[in-house]
Structure 1
């Protein structure tokens, strides 16, 4: 019988959830200091709140090499470290950095990719902001303005 352990993809560690409890939302990430101003080269543990909510205005600020966030289906991911590993190349991710990349993601990938990387790169959720559509009909003249 062949050993199938080698052919299985390595699974990312998942937070342990006990019956009747909520999943852990604050996790410890390991950050590797970089650049000439880094005081140490040792990894630093940093707490990350996975329930952090980001606005679209915050998301769009992270749209460049070295600071690359995107949202997929309402979840915000920091793909800065992953961008160099992306099979399609960093350029693909830079093209959707700072945006809701859900449609583009769905065009090329299935849920299995998100499941594989979500735990490692998820940093929060995207706040859905619904703007009220301005009415242009006859009766809109009589509507009270807020």
Structure 2
């Protein structure tokens, strides 16, 4: 069973001590150990830490990138929360 996260859960993971998580589509990814491997540098990933990175991800990457790295980095899925 895949772990589920809220956007608030992800927002709590925005530094290397707590782990750096991002959201792409409905997936939650732990990119902490990927920072130095990222061809665009760690700086841009740190800027997106704890946030929904879907729009910038798809602006600069194709599906092949998610296919290549997604399984290694995905830690769960985003849950829908009720908006009152």
* Runs of 4+ with >4 A deviation: none
> Aligned Cα RMSD in Å?
1.2
Higher relative contact order (CA 8 A, sep 6+): 2
Structure 1 unmatched ranges of 5 or more: 1-24, 26-50, 133-146
User: Relative to total residues, which structure has the larger helix share, 1 or 2?
Assistant: 2
TM-score (norm 2): 0.91
Structure 2 unmatched runs, 5+ = none
Normalised by the length of structure 1, the TM-score is 0.54
Structure-to-structure mapping, 1:57-136, within 5 angstroms: 57-66=8-17, 67-132=19-84
Cα distance in 1 for partners of 2:82, 2:25 equals 16
**How many pairs does the alignment contain?**
83
1:97-129 residue CA offsets vs partner (Å, 9 max, x unmatched): 101100010110011100001111110001122
